[in-house]
Amino acid sequence: MTPLYLSATLRRLEADYAQHEPPLIELAGKSIAQWLLARYRGSRFGVLVGPGNNGADALACARRLREAGQALHCLVPLARKALSSPDAALLALSGLQVVDSAGLSECDVIVDGLFGLGLNRRLDTSITGLLEAIDGFGKPIVAIDAPSGLDSDRGVPSPVALHATHTLSMLGAKPGYYTAAGRDYCGEVHLIELLPPTAARPAADAQLIDTQPNAPQLHRQHVSHKGTYGTLAIFGGSAGMTGAALLAGRMAAKSGAGKVYLGLLDPVLGVDVLQPELMLQAATDLVKRSDLDLAAIGPGLGRSQAAQALLQQLLASDLPLLLDADALNLLSSAAELQQQLRTRTAPSIITPHPAEAARLLGLPTNKVQEDRLAAARELQARLNTAVLLKGSGTICADCAGISINGSGNGALATAGQGDILSGLIASLWLQGLSPIDAARLSAFVHGHAADDWRMQHRNGLGLCASELIEPIRTLLNR
C-alpha cells in the first residue's frame, strides 16, 4: 500500500520543513530536472510557470535545465497578476526566454508548473482556453505535483485540466491521482522523494491499494472440508434478471466458498447447467434456512414488494450481510430500512455505484463524483456499515480508515461486473477475511484481471463479466 496525502496535509509538512537546507524548492527543482534529463535530454523544453510554490519549482527546474545546456522557453501567463517581484526578477536573472503559447507549441516537451496541488477554484476562460490549446499541441506533458486544472484531492477538473503524460508527485502521492477522473489526467505517476527516509511524516489521509493484499487465511489446510469454508446465500434473480444472480454465484463458487445457494425471486431455473455446484431455491424458502453463514442480496433483485420484504427479513437477521444493486435502491427509498441497517449488530457492507450512493445520500450523482472520498465516509458514518464505492478508483471505507483501489480500467464498464464483484467479496468474507479486507482484495484482483485482459485488447472493448471469473481465480491462487 502507498500512503496518500491531501493537499492540506502536505502544506503542513512543507511548513514544518520551511527552514530545511537546502530549501525544498531547490531540492524539487533539482529532482525534476534530473528526471527530465534522464528521459528527454536534448529536447526543447517548454516550461509553464505559475504563481506560488509550483511556479517556483518550475523556475528552479528551468535553471537546472539551462545549466545542463538544454534549449528551453518559459510561458508565464499569470506574471502580472500573481508572480511576486522576486520570482519575476529570478526569471530575468536566469536568462530564460519568455514566449507566448504559440512559441510553446514549438517545444518538444511541456513541463507544467502552473498550478500544482490543491487547486480549489474554477478557472476563468482565459486559462481554460490556454490549457485546451496546450493539450491540442499533442506534446508530452510532465506535470509538477498535479496537471494544471485538476484538484489533486478529489480528482476532478476545474472545469478543464491538462492531460499529462507523466505526473511528478512531490513529497507524497495524492488521492486525486487515482480516483474520479484523476487517472485520465495524470498519466503515469512518479513519486519524487525530497525528504530523507528518516524524516518525520504526518499520518496518511488514505491508502492506495497498488499491490495484491496478502490473505494468508485463504491458504487451505489438508484437514478441511466444504463446511470449513462456509455456506453462502445469494438472493436476487427476479424475472428477466436471473443472470445477475448466476454470475455472483459462479464467482463465489470459483473463489472458494464452501457451499453456495441462490435464492431466486423467479425460481424458473432448477439448475445452473454451466455451474451445477450451485444450489438454486426459491428465495422465500432459502431465507428460512438456519444453516447459512453469510448472505448477499441484490444481484437481479428488482424492486418489487417481495424484494422489499426479503430485504427487510435479512436486515432483521443476525447474518453477516452484503447489500448491492437493487437492495441499495430499496434501502434509499425507505427510512425504516436504513434504520434497520444502521442498528444491526451483525456486520454489513454495501457496494454502491455512484448513482446508488447518490440516492442513499440524497444527492445528484455528480456531487458524489466531485468528492468520492467524502461520499464514502459519509455513507459509512450514516449507515454504520463498511462501504465499497465503485467507479474509477474504487473507494473502500470502514470506521478504521479509507483506501483507493489502484487496479482496473474502463473495460470494466460493462453489465455484470458488479455482480461478480459482489459474489467475490461475499466468498472471501465467508472464508475468514474481514468485510473491508475482502472488499479491498476483491476490488484489486477484479481490476487486475481486467488490466491483464486490456494488455491484449488495447481499446478495452467487449469485456464480459463472465470472462473474468477464471482469471480472478488464477490471481487468488498465485
Annotated binding site: 53-57, 112, 116-122, 145, 148, 244, 300, 353, 390-394, 418-419
What residues form the annotated binding site for K(+)? 54, 112, 148
DSSP, residue by residue, 211-263: SPPP-GGGSPPSS--GGGG-EEEEEE--TT-HHHHHHHHHHHHHTT-SEEEEE
Instruction: Give which of 410, 407, 438 is closest to 422, Cα–Cα.
Output: 438
474 Cβ partners below 8 Å, 6+ apart?
none
Quick one: the chain helix, strand, coil %, rounded to 5? 45, 15, 40
Whether residue 299 contacts residue 325, with contact meaning beta carbons closer than 8 Å, is answered with: yes
36, amino acid identity: L
293, amino acid identity: D
What residues form the annotated binding site for AMP? 390-394, 418
Q: How far apart are CA 210 and CA 186, in angstroms?
A: 16
Torsion angle (degrees, nearest 10) of CA 413, 189, 171, 107: -130
Instruction: Give which of 287, 235, 291 is closest to 264, Cα–Cα.
Output: 235
What residues form the annotated binding site for (6S)-NADPHX? 53-57, 116-122, 145, 244, 300, 353, 419
Q: How far apart are CA 360 and CA 423, in angstroms?
A: 22
The one-character DSSP state at 176 is G
